[in-house]
Amino acid sequence: MNRKLLFGGAAVALAGVALYRLVTPAEDIYEGPAGAWTANDMPDLSGKVIVVTGGNSGIGFEAAKEFARKGAHVILACRNMEKARSAMEEIVAEMPGASIEIMDLDLASLDSVRQFAAAFKAQHDRLDILVNNAGIMMVPYGKTKDGFESQFGVNHLGHFALTGLLLEPLLATPGARVVTISSNAHTRGEMDFTDLGFQDGSSYDRSAAYNRSKLANLLFTQELQHRFAESGADVIAVAAHPGISATHLADHLIEGPFIDLARPLAGRIFQSAAMGALPTLRAAVDPSAQGGDYYGPDGFNSFRGYPVKIAASPAAQDAADARRLWDVSEHLTGVTYDALQPRESSGDHSQQA
């Protein structure tokens, strides 16, 4: 048999399998295949206090809904309070006993981040889970209120500042977690510390900026976990990504002359926001999760499926870059993590998670 035909046929078969796995509808979030982690695996969360940034839509909304279903008090930390109120009302309509609160938070403003943290600490003395979920994706060049490139500023710096300002209630809560949402796009990210702002817009590439911000999310998780472990804090830092999910985050992903052709195909490839929220939920509540773990879908190229532990890219595990990003972030935001003091027996940095 002609070897070229044989290999060509095998390639076509593999492509067919991959395409089938992409366009096959996602399973229900409560009833997956044998061994899959689903929302039914979530423990009771009564008495827990959970903050979800960007909890009014997309995977943040779906995660907040499931947290509330399990009895947690959930704070939707959102920029648009009208949408936050609508989201709260939708959850309460489905679950009349749900404990939901909405609070104003604009991650593009460090003043807003500080005001949110102060207001939260005035009302709550514990924080069991902080979900750093909100973000923007592949938007045109812009700046935050503090002058940072918008994707890096919102996706990374805003959450860096928020987490640092909420350290007190996190440290006061045994077994607390910080869950930061990244993306498969982090694998294409590069940390150029000489040009984090893309030369004030002149070298801006919206995809490169997004990829960098998602890489920063994982470097932040790595260094935060190191500092939690080094200080002996009873808190862990974990990360997750939703795969390719149908949310408003991707509004800028499909543009151009072929948009009418692309959208129907995207509708078949993208999994639901509810499925996309499963890695977030597992990272937040799975008792077996450890500091530094990273969760994503188990399907082809981690595009869709049920949540499993996955490996971050080598760049996301670069300890030197993680430390450098931390120092830069403290300098840019003015937020320091002074409560995380290393113990005398902390050991070498490179050995930490």
Establish if 353 belongs to a structural domain.
no
Is residue 253's pLDDT more than 60?
no
Q: Kindly state whether residue 2 falls inside one of the protein's structural domains.
A: no
Which tens digits make up the pLDDT trace of 151-185? 999 999 999 999 999 999 999 999 999 999 999 99
Given a contact cutoff of 8 angstroms between Cβ atoms, the answer to whether 59 and 276 are in contact is yes
**Of 204, 210, 295, 306, which one is the catalytic site residue?**
210
Q: Is residue 11 part of a domain?
A: no
Structural domain of residue 238, as residue ranges?
Answer: 20-337
β-partners of residue 50 are 74, 129
List CB contacts of 114: < 8 A, sequence separation 6 or more.
161, 165
306 is catalytic: no
- Check: CB of residue 117 under 8 Å from CB of residue 144: no
pLDDT category at 303 given cuts 50, 70, 90 is: confident
Q: Which of 179, 58, 168, 178 lies closest to 118, judged by CA?
A: 168
| Alpha-carbon span 71 to 66, nearest angstrom | 9
Q: Does residue 242 fall inside a structural domain?
A: yes
Dist. CA 35–CA 255, nearest whole Å:
38
pTM of the model: 0.87
**Could you tell me if residue 203 is inside a domain?**
yes
Q: What is the pLDDT of residues 101-157, one digit of tens each?
A: 999 999 999 999 999 999 999 999 999 999 999 999 999 999 999 999 999 999 999
**Residue 171 maps to a domain:** yes
Number of residues that make up the chain: 353
CATH number of the domain where residue 119 is located: 3.40.50.720
Q: Is residue 344 part of a domain?
A: no
**Residues 183-203 pLDDT 10s:** 999 999 999 999 999 998 999
Per-residue DSSP letter, 130: E
Would residue 246 count as lying in a domain?
yes
Whole-angstrom distance, CA of residue 54 vs CA of residue 134: 4
- Count of domains observed in the chain: 1
Q: What percent of the chain has pLDDT over 90?
A: 78
Q: Where are the alpha helices (DSSP H) in the chain?
A: 3-23, 58-69, 81-94, 110-123, 150-152, 159-165, 167-171, 206-231, 259-269, 273-276, 278-285, 319-333
Mapping DSSP to helix (H, G, I), strand (E, B) and coil, where does residue 50 land?
Answer: strand
Residue pair 204/149 in contact (Cβ under 8 Å)? The answer is: yes
